[in-house]
Amino acid sequence: MGSVTRNKWYKYVFLKRYGPLARYLPKTRMMSLHSFRALLGKYGHVIVKPVWGSRGRGVIQVSKLGHHKYGIHYENRQKVKRGKKNTYRYLRKKIGSTPYMVQKRITRPTIDNRPFDMRVIVQRKRHSSHWVVTGKVIKVAGKGYIVSNNTRSKGQLHKFKSGIRKSSIRHLSVSDLESKIDKVSIRSAKRLGALFPHHRIYGMDIATNQKGRVAIIETNLYPAMSHFRKLNDRELYNRIMSYKRG
Ligand SMILES: Nc1ncnc2c1ncn2[C@@H]1O[C@H](COP(=O)(O)OP(=O)(O)O)[C@@H](O)[C@H]1O
Ligand SMILES: [Mg+2]
C-alpha cells in the first residue's frame, strides 16, 4: 500500500538511525495505546498524524491539561477528554485502522500569536552531487489551526528573514538560524540520497522552538511550488524552477 517516498514512518526511521541527524528528529512512534501514553506522559503535548498523510490532513494535537484532562485540537476545533485511555479510545474511533504515528510536539515560535514552521527546498542539478538550499519560506498557521499547511489552515507565508524579524524569535541571529537550518536540510537531502539516488529535489518541513533549536518535522519528495509562487517576490520561485530544469 502506497510508496516508500510518501511513508513518513519509513523516512523518519531512516533519518533517525543516522547519527549526525538523530538529534533533529523529534521522538516518534507508531500510534498505540502504549506509545501514546508514553509520549504524552513524557512531553505533555503530542502530534498524532497519519503515516501516509499530506497537506495537513488528519493531523491532531493532544495536550495534557492537568486534573486528568486532555485537550484535542483538530482542524480549527478543540475538545476536552478525561483520562489518557479514554482520550486514546476517542482518537482510535476517529482514525479507525488508518496507520498513524505519535510524535513529540515542537513548541514553535509565533508571528501574531500563531505558530509557524518552515518549508526548505533543497535541490541538486542533473549530474551534480552538490546540494543547495534554493528556497525557504515561513508558513504561519491560520487562525485556530495547529498545522501550518497554507491551503488547509488559510495561513500566511513570509520570506525567511522578514518573517523571523516579525516573530517571537526576532532576538535570535537570523544568519545563525539560517545556517543551522540550511545545514540540517542539506544533510537530510544527502542522507535521503542513499534511499532515492536519482532524486534531485526535497522539501523539508523544519520547525524551531523558541530558543531556535532546529527539528525536522518531515521530508517531502514532491514539494509543492505554490508556496513560492504565492510570494510577491518571484526570485525564489524562479531559482527553484531553473534548478529543476538544470
Ligand atoms: N511534531 C510537530 N510539532 C509541531 N507541529 C507539527 C508537528 N508535526 C506536524 N506539525 C504541524 O503540522 C503540519 C503537518 O504535518 P506534517 O508532518 O508536515 O504532515 P503533512 O504531510 O500533512 O504536511 C506541519 O507542517 C506542522 O505545521
Ligand atoms: Mg508537511
Q: pLDDT of 109-139, one tens digit each?
A: 999 999 999 999 999 999 999 999 999 999 9
- Condensed to tens digits (0 to 9), the pLDDT of residues 21-63 reads 999 999 999 999 999 999 999 999 999 999 999 999 999 999 9
**Minimum CA distance residue for ligand 1 atom 18:** 218
Nearest in space to 45 (alpha carbons), one of 66, 30, 25 = 66
Mean pLDDT over 78-85 rounds to 98
- Which of 40, 74, 157, 217 maximizes ligand 1 atoms within 8 Å of its Cβ, making it the mutation to test the pocket? 217
Say yes or no to pLDDT of 242 above 60.
yes
Residues paired with 216 in a beta bridge: 206
Q: Which residues surround ligand 2, an ion (CB under 5 A)?
A: 205, 218
Q: Is 218 helix (H, G, I), strand (E, B) or coil?
A: strand
Rounded to an integer, what distance in angstroms lies between the CA atom of residue 9 and that of residue 169? 30
Probe target for ligand 1 pocket from 47, 62, 153, 204, with the most ligand atoms within 8 Å of CB: 47
Nearest residue (by CA) to ligand 1, atom 25, is: 148
Domains of the chain listed by start with CATH number: 27-104 (3.90.70.20), 110-245 (3.30.470.20)
Instruction: Write down the H helix ranges in 96-198.
Output: 150-153, 160-166, 174-192
C-alpha 154/C-alpha 143 separation (Å) is 8
- Quick one: which of 118, 80, 104, 81 has its CA closest to 212? 118
Distance CA(147)–CA(75), nearest Å, equals 8
The closest-lying atom of ligand 1 relative to the alpha carbon of residue 106 is: 3
Angle (deg, nearest 10), helices 84-95 and 33-43? 120
Per the CB < 8 A criterion, the answer to whether 129 and 117 are in contact is no
Instruction: Name which of 225, 244, 210, 235 is nearest 110 in CA terms.
Output: 210
**What type of residue sits at position 208?**
T
Given a cut of 70, is residue 1 above it in pLDDT? no
Taking only the tens place, the pLDDT of each residue in 163-187 is 999 999 999 999 999 999 999 999 9
Between the CA of 154 and the centroid of ligand 1 the distance, in Å, is 15
